[in-house]
Structure 1
Amino acid sequence: MIAAEDDDRSLVDRLKSDGSWNELWTGLDELDPIWTEDYLTAVLEPYQSGVLPPQVVQLLCIAVDAACTHLYEPGLRRHIRAALDCGVTQREILEVLKMTTSVGIHSINVGLPILLEESESH
């Protein structure tokens, strides 16, 4: 993703030059470039720290982007591609996607009791 030898350029510039820039960040960068730089530095820490293997980082990103509360298709596509590129198997990605669907089960856990309660009083 970001090479260490590029440290003399801003992170925003490096993301733009290597194709990792998300156009959704452009307005934020225009309004507050210092905050944007600080935010992206923090967000990219898991990629650069080495604490988690790259495969795990990509699987976590897939889970976040596929979650019903986020559903960010461009990021999901980018992270699935990156996961496959770093050796994650199709089956491992599928298992993460299957686990991610459990986030949506909460809507039935909350909604069903309300439906039953309201049906009794109707």
Structure 2
Amino acid sequence: MRGAGHWNPLWDGVAELDPEWTESFMRTTMSTYRGGVLTPQVVELLCIAVDAACTHLYAPGVRRHMRAALDLGVEPREILEVLKLATTVGVHSINVGAPILMEEMAGRSQ
């Protein structure tokens, strides 16, 4: 992961506490990059979606994967479409919250 430029400094502590588990996790993660099932472009687009999702919001990863995607020839408009799709994860906040609000409001009017 370090050699490929995918290392997150936040993993340093985990690597120190449990180097064997960390190495196993990194090998598993890197197999997606090297597996050949998905094109490198698709892998980078998926990584952008994960890092940009409201449940993750990891800006250094978004930047790193955007650069890699652009270097691989991905068009900026393709990246923008991925970002648009990633925003749909946040819509569930209102899907969950609005019914609860309606229940709470109904309970107060009685």
| Structure 2 unmatched ranges of 5 or more | none
The alpha carbon displacement at 1:25 in A equals 1.0
Mean CA deviation greater in 51-60 or 112-121:
112-121
* Alignment of 1:76 onto 2:62: yes
Asked which structure has the greater RCO (Cα within 8 Å, sep 6+), the reply is: 2
Alpha-carbon distance in structure 2 between the residues aligned to 1:45 and 1:62:
18
TM superposition score normalised by structure 1: 0.84
* Alignment of 1:62 onto 2:62: no
Give runs of ≥4 in structure 1 deviating > 4 Å.
none
Q: C-alpha deviations, 1:93-116, integer Å up to 9, x for none?
A: 000000111000001001001111
Alpha-carbon distance in structure 1 between the residues aligned to 2:77 and 2:5:
27
Q: How does 1:1-122 map to 2 (within 5 A)?
A: 15=2, 17=3, 19-122=5-108
Alpha-carbon distance in structure 2 between the residues aligned to 1:41 and 1:28:
15
The alpha carbon displacement at 1:21 in A equals 2.5
Equivalent position of 1:5 in the other structure: none
Alpha-carbon distance in structure 2 between the residues aligned to 1:100 and 1:113:
23
Q: C-alpha deviations, 1:22-66, integer Å up to 9, x for none?
A: 211111111111111100000111101111000000000000000
TM superposition score normalised by structure 2: 0.92
| Structure 1 unmatched ranges of 5 or more | 1-11
- Over the matched positions of the two proteins, sequence identity in percent amounts to 64
Equivalent position of 1:6 in the other structure: none
Count of residue correspondences: 108
Closer, same or farther: CA 20–114 of 1 in aligned 2, 3 Å: closer
